[in-house]
Amino acid sequence: MDIREALMTLTNSYGVSGQEYNLHEMIINIFKDYVDSTEIDSLGNIIFFKKGTNDDGFKIMLAAHMDEIGLMVTKIEDNGFLRFAEVGGIDPRTVVGQEVLVHGSKVIPGVIGTKPPHMIEKEEQEKSLKLKDMIIDTGYSRENLIKYVHIGDFISIKRESMLLSNDRMAGKSMDDRVGVAVLYDLVKRLNSIKHYPDVYMVCTVQEEVTMSGARTSAYSINPDIGIAIDVGFGYTPELKKSETLILGKGPGITLGGNIDNTLRKQLIEVAKEYNIPYQHSIEPGPTGTDGSAIQITKEGIPTLVISVPLRYMHTSVELVDLKDIRFTSILLSNFIKNTKKINYSFVEENLCY
């Protein structure tokens, strides 16, 4: 299975934060021929393991979250319409008119509706849409709908990914099934090289709501190095180039207070040595990724964050360039191949007392 097919399979599957168990079998089947062992922990993280050549237990953990943003049933109206709330960061402007799947005791298709524009007062037209003003119409009466759907059931946006020109793909849940695709391409590369570290590749749960999957898996693994693989804001004309990443130009290597500067420099040295394109992603504060959770686990873990450029984040048409996935996995495989220890060097004048 190549990157294109893997990403298509990953993004056409459904797993809202808290519902990632739907993805377990599919993801394990994609990875199983390339790893030494597989574990699903108590929270639902999938932990793939590749043994290194070391005899001292030196470990690298790479995390990519498999959950996606979605919705949840909050009320079943007397007329059969569903009210709902967001799971993760949903932009209300993007969900009107969408097809959805309600994951009850059976999967129920529906559509998200709101008032026709002809019937909206002028002052109301100038206000932003709110989820509380929208409904899901399944066609069912309340009497029949409550046989299958209950408050708290998850709802996902129904969308199949599509291939575009220039090796690009658009669809839902690219954030962060793209990261899972990077891990898949990476593990295939690791099978053809010798690497010193033991490598733990974790498909984490609940990043979009709490980052708890990264926190618990990092606590269990306790790696020497942590790397979060996520997506970064892709450039479009209405955005500033200085705040975005260009599609097709390689991953963004994050700079910021949450990032281990020594590891970042080592990663850039690897990119330069092997002529792998990369970009800088500036995050002065928290990164909003699994990296923030990994970094503060136990006594603290030196952590990197790598971002695959992505347009239209948190919509159902997130768009990526497949070349960036390959560039990211090539960079990581060479970093792992060349990493035996963290090359920290402290000099007295740099220490604070």
Domain residue ranges in the chain: 3-68+172-337, 70-157
Query: What separation in angstroms does the CA of 153 have from each of 77, 79, 95, 173?
Result: 15, 18, 18, 19
Pairwise CA distance, residues 249 & 207, whole Å: 26
Token look-up 């899901």 returns 136
Question: Which three-class secondary structure state does DSSP give residue 8?
Answer: helix
Q: Which CATH number fits domain 70-157: 1.10.1200.10, 2.40.128.30, 1.10.579.10, 2.40.30.40?
A: 2.40.30.40
Pairwise CA distance, residues 43 & 214, whole Å: 10
Helices vs. strands in the chain: H and E counts, helices first: 9, 17
Question: Which three-class secondary structure state does DSSP give residue 13?
Answer: coil
CATH 1.10.565.10 fits 3-68+172-337, yes or no: no
- Catalytic hit among 207, 238, 269, 318: 207
pLDDT of residue 286: 80
Which amino acid type is present at position 85? Answer: A
CB 303, CB 258: distance < 8 Å: yes
CB atoms near residue 312 (< 10 Å)? 17
CA pseudo-torsion sign 187, 265, 278, 245: positive
Query: What separation in angstroms does the CA of 108 have from each of 48, 80, 100?
Result: 33, 13, 8
Distance of CA 186 to the CA centre of its chain: 16
β-sheet with 168-171: strand ranges across = 162-164, 168-171, 318-321
Binding site feature residues for Zn(2+): 65, 175, 208, 230, 314
Cis ω for the linkage preceding 176 (within 30 of 0): yes
CB atoms near residue 28 (< 10 Å)? 15
Q: Return the closest-CA partner of residue 218 out of 210, 226, 230.
A: 226
pLDDT of residue 344: 58
Residue 207 a catalytic site member: yes
- pLDDT tens track of the chain, all 353 residues? 999 999 999 999 999 999 999 999 999 999 999 999 999 999 999 999 999 999 999 999 999 999 999 999 999 999 999 999 999 999 898 999 999 999 999 999 999 987 777 767 776 666 778 898 899 999 999 999 999 999 999 999 999 999 999 999 999 999 999 999 999 999 999 999 999 999 999 999 999 999 999 999 999 999 999 999 999 999 999 998 889 999 999 999 999 888 999 999 999 999 999 999 999 998 887 888 999 999 999 999 999 999 999 999 999 999 999 999 999 999 999 999 999 876 655 444 334 43
List b or e across 198-223, with b for residues whose CB sees 16 or more CB atoms inside 10 angstroms.
Answer: bbbbbbbbbbbbebbbbbbbbebbeb
Binding site feature residues: 65, 175, 208, 230, 314
